[in-house]
Structure 1
Amino acid sequence: MRDDELARATALREAGERDEAREILLGLAARHPDDAEVAYQTAWVHDALGLEAEAVPFYVRALAGVGLSAEDRLGAFLGLGSTYRVLGRVAESLETFDRGLAEFPDDAGLRTFRAMALYNAGRAREAVGALLTVIAESDRAGGYRRAIAYYAENLDETI
């Protein structure tokens, strides 16, 4: 029953029927308060509906629980960190991204969203350096990889 309802709610969310998905997920979350996967999907649908503040406790519950796949755990870190940032809770956003990066140190998405939070924290130079590092490590850097990596650390250097 739980698996069928969860699959139905996820399919509804993916089909754009978010309000209906939310109703199913809220019921599941009430019946399965310790289920990390249900909490994650419930957080996600709240985010998709623009209900960021309501998503937070579900993300927190998802990350505190066990049983999420690595992909969903990464998604929960990204979702919670981004949601905190949107809500203006920048310190919590950075803490969440740092926790995520402790588990997924090479994830470009976490590093990019963390850079946005750094910018919101008034740490623009650090944010740009972090973004340059992500670019330098990507396939998009081309023949400029060394230069971009250098300036990620030496951004203020000019001739």
Structure 2
Amino acid sequence: MSGKVVDDRDQLLGEAVGLRQAGKREEARERLVALSARFPQDAEIAYQTAWVHDTLGLEAEAVPYYERALAGSGLSDDDRRGALLGLGSTYRVLGRYEEAVATLGDAAARFPEDGALKTFLAMALYNTGRAHDAMEILLTLLAATSKAPEIAGYRPAIEEYAKDLDATV
């Protein structure tokens, strides 16, 4: 791309994201769909287009944009994490539970410190009937991240039970 096209792309993308952030989501969607058509291989534009569809409750329309974003290159690690979370949670909302588990499981392995990915993975696991696995993830996350003194005091017990909720003393 020439410098003028890149500058134009950056300006138009910035304006569209600004509209979404300002709550003008439908206008942002229109601009992002047009930009995505103009730059079909641009992963960042695809991600932003998916995101705005999600914010409007248009999950089914968001999926192909998330998939395009993740298939391309050029996403920052933070945007790739966000796109994986968005796609996985969107699959879950659409009832595509196994795809949600696969997407969120891979994402949680790639970004092991991300509690949001683990939380959405636990929800998807629950939806597939894997409540035990979901509880293990959530209890481990709770024990590791809670600052509440009434939980922190039981951290060792919570961590132990997270491994096997069916265990008895």
TM-score between both structures, scaled by the size of structure 1? 0.96
CA distance in 1, matches of 2:154, 2:38: 54
1:63 aligns with 2:70: yes
| Residue 83 (structure 1) aligns with | 90
Deviations 1:19-42 (A, max 9, x none): 000000001000101100000000
Runs of 4+ in 1 over 4 A off after TM superposition: none
1:41 aligns to 2:48 (yes or no): yes
Alpha-carbon RMSD across the aligned residues, in angstroms, is 1.1
Amino acid aligned to 2:37: A
- Report which stretch shifted further, 132-141 or 34-43: 132-141
Asked if 1:27 is matched to 2:37, the reply is no
- CA shift digits 1:109-137 (9 cap, x unpaired): 11110000000001111111110011111
SS in 1 for 2:153: helix
Structure-1 separation of matches of 2:91 and 2:146: 30
What residue ranges of structure 1 are gaps of 5+ in the alignment? none
Structure 2: runs of 5+ lacking an equivalent: 1-7
Whole-Å separation in 1 of the counterparts to 2:26 and 2:76: 25
- Identity level (%): 61
Q: Which amino acid aligns with 2:156?
A: R
Give the one of 151, 154, 158 matched to 2:161: 151
1:57-94 deviation line (CA, Å, top 9, x unaligned): 00011111111111111100100000000000001001
Greater mean alpha carbon deviation, residues 64-73 or residues 35-44: 64-73
Which is greater in Rg?
2
Instruction: Kindly state the Cα deviation for residue 143 of structure 1 after the two structures are TM-superposed.
Output: 2.1
Name the TM-score, length of structure 2 as normaliser.
0.90
**Aligned equivalents of 1:102 and 1:108: distance in 2?**
11
Is 1:9 the equivalent of 2:9? Answer: no
- The amino acid across from 2:168 in the alignment is T
1:112 equivalenced with 2:112 (yes/no): no
**How big is the shift at 1:99?**
2.0
For 2:33 and 2:164, the matched residues in 1 are separated by 49
- In 2, the alpha carbon distance for the partners of 1:83 and 1:95 equals 13
Amino acid at match of 1:77: L
